[in-house]
């Protein structure tokens, strides 16, 4: 899986060899499409999308070009997930968040659990990215909980990236990229 901000740009990058295999840096070729997905957006509407697949000409592994706005394996767009995580960072319960966003409370609880379980990795990923894009950035102040610290570091990183490379993308899509699509990845059991 390769998380991409702009699907049209990613296809151009594949054609122009600017986007290469994350495993071996080999050239990528178009390789059909992944299955069509239908996701709920924050307005309550549905968005249907069909991510493109690419295949590495060297190692022959296929990758999905996953748009950052559509988290892997989730039925909701990233902005809905982001609003839920932000509310959780501010101490709201999964029930309140679910009622506010029109998302089942159990679904919200699942997102929060996954982010909590990898909060330290996300915080480190955010902190490193933030300082890569802005070496003058002051230390990120602890926000009060592991989840809040992770959200704060990722938000700081997204802002630093947007400033540095004049990125025109919603913050949670940038965060999805910084998290390498791992924000809501399933937890390893055992
Ligand atoms: Zn490869």
Say what the pTM is. Answer: 0.88
Say whether pLDDT at 190 is over 60.
Answer: no
Domain boundaries, the chain: 2-67, 78-178
b/e string for 33-64 if b means 16 or more Cβ within 10 A?
Answer: ebeebebbebeeeeeebebbbbbbeeeeeebb
Question: Which tens digits make up the pLDDT trace of 129-162?
Answer: 999 999 999 888 888 899 999 999 999 999 999 9
Q: Is 38 helix (H, G, I), strand (E, B) or coil?
A: strand
- For residues 166-185, give the mean pLDDT: 88
The Å distance, Cα 58 to ligand 1 centre, comes to 5
The Å distance, Cα 8 to ligand 1 centre, comes to 21
Maximum CA extent, the chain: 49
Q: Which residues surround ligand 1, an ion (CB under 5 A)?
A: 21, 23-24, 26, 56, 58-59
């Amino acid at each position: 899986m390769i998380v991409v901000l702009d699907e049209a740009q990613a296809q151009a990058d594949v054609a122009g060899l600017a986007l290469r295999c994350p495993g071996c840096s080999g050239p990528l070729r178009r390789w059909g499409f992944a299955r069509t997905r239908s996701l709920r957006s924050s307005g309550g509407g549905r968005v249907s999308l069909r991510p493109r697949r690419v295949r590495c000409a060297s190692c022959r592994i296929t990758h999905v070009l996953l748009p950052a706005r559509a988290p892997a394996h989730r039925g909701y767009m990233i902005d809905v997930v982001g609003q839920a995580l932000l509310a959780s960072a501010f101490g709201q319960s999964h029930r309140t968040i679910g009622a506010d966003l029109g998302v089942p409370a159990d679904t919200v609880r699942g997102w929060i659990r996954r982010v909590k379980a990898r909060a330290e990795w996300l915080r480190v990923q955010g902190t490193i990215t933030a300082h890569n894009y802005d070496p003058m950035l002051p230390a990120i102040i602890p926000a009060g909980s592991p989840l809040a610290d992770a959200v704060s570091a990722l938000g700081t990183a997204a802002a630093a990236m947007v400033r540095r490379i004049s990125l025109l993308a919603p913050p949670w899509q940038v965060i999805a990229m910084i998290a390498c699509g791992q924000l809501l990845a399933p937890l390893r059991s055992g």
